[in-house]
């Protein structure tokens, strides 16, 4: 079956409502300064000017989780990938408010960035509340597929951690199947508490809050790169 590495398309339209003047000015001022380079190989010196640990969030929503993580580890470099302009604006607001200089943004597909990073270069990666593409015929569009997971595995350091969260029951079953057959990751869950309770260093996203408000269960998965 084709998966996102071959179809190269995981999302629909990239912009929602028209930006307000302040938002448009922020995009014009800040985004060019912290955007991931469009071409060429990527590593910490290219992105941040020095050699530092790298972390990646795939589809960062409005950026609240990524900004929190970046504020906790200012000596690490954070790469956020998000195709939607509304989400990028949300992240820019938080980066500007917190004065974060250790975040770089890519408005597009995370695969485009992952393929340009050195192997064994990431210490952490997150995939939180991705589009579940719940219909069976759309399963090939889920980021949680063998191709992208194999790519993440190649880019992560041994002992690095990949975190996945979702409130969608179809996606959680699918993800457990995909990750269960991966030879590269070890699931760190040992008891129900480990995947039913959000760890302290995993701040709530707005998507999770919306899911909770609707009465949905949320699952949290942590995997270690072997």
Cα–Cα distance measured from residue 151 to residue 15, given in angstroms and rounded to the nearest whole number? 27
168: number of Cβ within 10 Å: 20
131 belongs to the catalytic site: yes
Tokens of 225: 């790169």
Secondary structure tally for the chain: helices H, strands E? 10, 7
From 131, 146, 184, 194, the catalytic residue: 131
How many CA atoms within 13 Å lie on the side-chain side of 105? Answer: 30
Cα–Cα distance measured from residue 33 to residue 42, given in angstroms and rounded to the nearest whole number? 16
The residue written with tokens 């996203």 in the block is: 205
94 Cβ contact list (under 8 Å, min separation 6): 62, 63, 64, 67, 100
Tell me whether strands 156-166 and 122-128 are parallel, antiparallel or unpaired.
Answer: parallel
Tell me whether strands 54-58 and 156-166 are parallel, antiparallel or unpaired.
Answer: unpaired
**Catalytic residue IDs:** 131
């Amino acid at each position: 079956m084709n998966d996102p590495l071959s179809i190269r398309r995981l999302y629909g339209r990239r912009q929602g409502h028209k930006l307000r003047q302040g938002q448009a000015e922020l995009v014009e001022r800040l985004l060019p300064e912290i955007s991931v380079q469009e071409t060429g190989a990527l590593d910490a010196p290219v992105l941040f000017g020095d050699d530092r640990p790298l972390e990646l969030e795939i589809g960062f929503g409005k950026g609240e989780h990524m900004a929190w993580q970046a504020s906790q580890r200012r000596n690490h470099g954070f790469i956020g990938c998000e195709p939607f302009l509304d989400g990028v604006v949300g992240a820019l607001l938080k980066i500007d408010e917190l004065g974060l200089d250790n975040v770089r943004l890519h408005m597009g597909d995370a695969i485009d960035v992952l393929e340009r990073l050195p192997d064994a270069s990431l210490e952490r990666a997150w995939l939180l509340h991705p589009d579940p593409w719940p219909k069976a015929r759309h399963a090939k569009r889920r980021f949680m597929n063998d191709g992208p997971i194999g790519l993440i595995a190649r880019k992560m350091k041994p002992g690095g951690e990949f975190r996945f969260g979702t409130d969608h029951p179809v996606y959680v079953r699918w993800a457990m199947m995909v990750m269960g057959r991966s030879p590269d990751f070890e699931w760190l869950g040992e008891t129900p508490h480990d995947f039913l309770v959000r760890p302290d260093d995993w701040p709530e996203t707005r998507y999770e809050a919306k899911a909770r408000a609707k009465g949905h269960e949320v699952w949290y998965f942590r995997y270690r790169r072997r």
